[in-house]
Structure 1
Amino acid sequence: MALHLIKLCVGVDTIGELEAWILEKRRRLSKDGSAQEHVHVTRMAPKRADELLDGGSLYWVIRGQLACRQRLTAIRTFTDGEGIGRCRLVLHPEVTPVSPRPCRPFQGWRYLGHADAPADLGDSAASIRALPETMRRELVELGLL
């Protein structure tokens, strides 16, 4: 069964902003002739990489709520120019909104079990997905969603 990660999406206020940032980053890489791989660099490498790569995702916390996810495609450790070990989390560029859930701030990333992961806002939740993100956020805060 897949294992997931949770991470704060700092500097982003909406899922749309995250998607726009990913698109812009891919465009820049394309102009440079670099691989258009979407990566997020962390200080620590997950010890349970095999479980994460067995269908796991990185769930983003945006403004205090689990809001969306990106599928993990690879995990690569490396040493930066200052000799510090780091980790590249390679992510599929598609962002999938999930059923919003409050989440307190934390540092770094945390593991998230498959059973505890929020459901995607897919076709069965089309009416919820159609709501503006700010309205979904307010409904969750009021305990109505």
Structure 2
Amino acid sequence: MVPTRGAEITDGGSLYWVIKGNVQCRQLITEIRPFTDDEGIGRCHLMLDPQVVRTDWQPRRAFQGWRYLKPSDAPADLGKGKAAIAEMPPKLRLELAELGLL
């Protein structure tokens, strides 16, 4: 479906990837290209920046459709000071995130 707040999304908005029950990374949405499918339903192509930015893990159930995160609710990017966290084995990182330690 086509988002109702498209201009807001392409002005620095990101698509956050929920992987195994956690937001783990994001990609900037650079453009939204609306089109109508063969059944007459309005849809869109999301054009994403090729760079994938790793984020703090944030537990979140997978969902369909548009969700707008307030900046205060979005997970922070992993900074240079968190390089060791990014290198942890995924299983250990998941366990620490579930305990609220990451």
Unaligned stretches of 5+ residues in structure 2: none
* Residue aligning to 2:56: 99
- Percent identical among aligned pairs is 59
**Separation (CA, whole Å) in 1 of partners of 2:56 and 2:3:** 25
CA contact (8 A) 1:69 1:96 kept: yes
Which residue among 76, 87, 90 is the counterpart of 2:33?
76
The one-letter amino acid paired with 1:60 is W
Which residue among 42, 46, 69 is the counterpart of 1:85?
42
Q: Secondary structure at the match of 2:23?
A: strand
* Deviation of the 1:58 alpha carbon: 0.5
TM-score, L = length of structure 2:
0.89
- Pick closer, same or farther for the CA change 1:133–1:109 going to 2, 3 Å: farther
* Residue aligning to 2:65: 108
Q: Does residue 118 of the first structure (1) align with residue 90 of the second (2)? A: no
Unaligned stretches of 5+ residues in structure 1: 1-43
CA contact (8 A) 1:45 1:86 kept: yes
Q: Secondary structure at the match of 1:70?
A: strand
* Residue aligning to 1:139: 96
**Separation (CA, whole Å) in 2 of partners of 1:77 and 1:133:** 36
* Residue aligning to 1:62: 19
* Deviation of the 1:110 alpha carbon: 0.8
* Deviation of the 1:120 alpha carbon: 0.7
- Pick closer, same or farther for the CA change 1:100–1:73 going to 2, 3 Å: same
TM-score, L = length of structure 1:
0.65
**Separation (CA, whole Å) in 2 of partners of 1:135 and 1:106:** 25
CA contact (8 A) 1:128 1:136 kept: yes
**Separation (CA, whole Å) in 2 of partners of 1:78 and 1:94:** 25
Q: Secondary structure at the match of 1:129?
A: helix
Number of residue pairs aligned between Structure 1 and Structure 2: 102
* Residue aligning to 2:7: 50
**Separation (CA, whole Å) in 1 of partners of 2:35 and 2:43:** 5
Q: Secondary structure at the match of 2:91?
A: helix
CA contact (8 A) 1:122 1:129 kept: no
